[in-house]
A = this chain, B = another copy of it.
């Protein structure tokens, strides 16, 4: 990306900010009238023409003002936007909300999605923190009736799954507790492969025990296989309010992106290993399905132990100067929760 003169940068910045605020193409007169640069409209026009030639700006039609191109947004985000943080009062308000609820993962995720949606005025998404490889930490069998029990599995990354198990023979809680204890000893903190090949594979087990071991193995495999993370979403309504979605088919795309998870998953998988806030503008030429949208995403969690992603999705005409600090701040809060879980 070449260097622009400071006047060109100033004008580009004005166009981007104006357009983000108003959603209306920005013309030379507007710039001079509203920002009075000590320049005539004609000069501004020359600069606009230059910026357009260089690919930072676009015209929707020959006699309209300019709007930023993806390249223009990128220049803006990377070079022109002063690295702002949320205002202290806003930070305090958000922190307060998080500390209102207990240190409960589900709640925090919900809250993170709500806070991001609100603050960045975009659709938000949050995935649960997940370990790269699932490991059982503890299991517990709880009697539901003579012939059914709840199998509760707690994993290393703090996630939990519960399943109903149909018991081959009527079994009481005492017996189930014994089974739990026995299996906890055998399975230790095993991953999927270790469950299949470790002590549990060779030890003499009852039918019920064998069945539960099989269930644990399947569940661990499933967790590893489908990177398919739960994605909490919120704030769709904000995207809907943007004027670019006056025609429904535009909007349909957003809903499709958010409901079909495959695309998001592939992007999330990449962001997971990045550092800090990632801004993906107009699909960056790699994801056609979101060429009109931008994502501001950040990984959070503890490296190597468990991590997830928080972020927002909106039109490329997104208030980056709010979205980026908001995502950064919420990622930091979510990280602190995960750190607590690992005792840091």
Q: Which residues of A contact B (CB under 8 A)?
A: 102-106, 137-138, 140, 142, 144-148, 150, 152, 154, 158, 160-166, 215, 218-219, 234-237, 240-241, 245-248, 251-252, 255-256, 259, 337, 340-344
The residues of B that contact A215 with a CB separation of less than 8 Å are: 102
Instruction: Tell me if B163 and A104 are in contact (CB < 8 A).
Output: yes
- A161 proximity list for chain B (CB < 8 A): 104, 106
* Other 19 A-B pairs with CB < 8 A, given A160-B162, A240-B248: A102-B163, A102-B219, A103-B163, A104-B164, A105-B162, A105-B164, A138-B140, A145-B342, A148-B340, A148-B341, A150-B158, A154-B162, A164-B340, A236-B259, A240-B251, A240-B255, A241-B252, A247-B248, A248-B251
Residue of B nearest to A234 (CB): B259
Q: Which residues of B contact A342 (CB under 8 A)?
A: 144-145, 148
Closest Cβ of chain B: how far from A168's Cβ, in Å?
14
Bound: A165/B340 CA distance, A? 9
**CB of A291 to closest CB in B, whole Å:** 19
Cα–Cα distance between A246 and B247 once the two chains are bound (Å):
7
- 8 interchain pairs, CB-CB under 8 A: A102-B215, A140-B154, A144-B343, A145-B342, A152-B154, A237-B252, A240-B252, A248-B251
Chain B residue nearest to A173 (CB atoms) is B138
Answer whether A145 and B343 are a contact pair too, CB < 8 Å, given A102-B218, A104-B162, A236-B259: yes
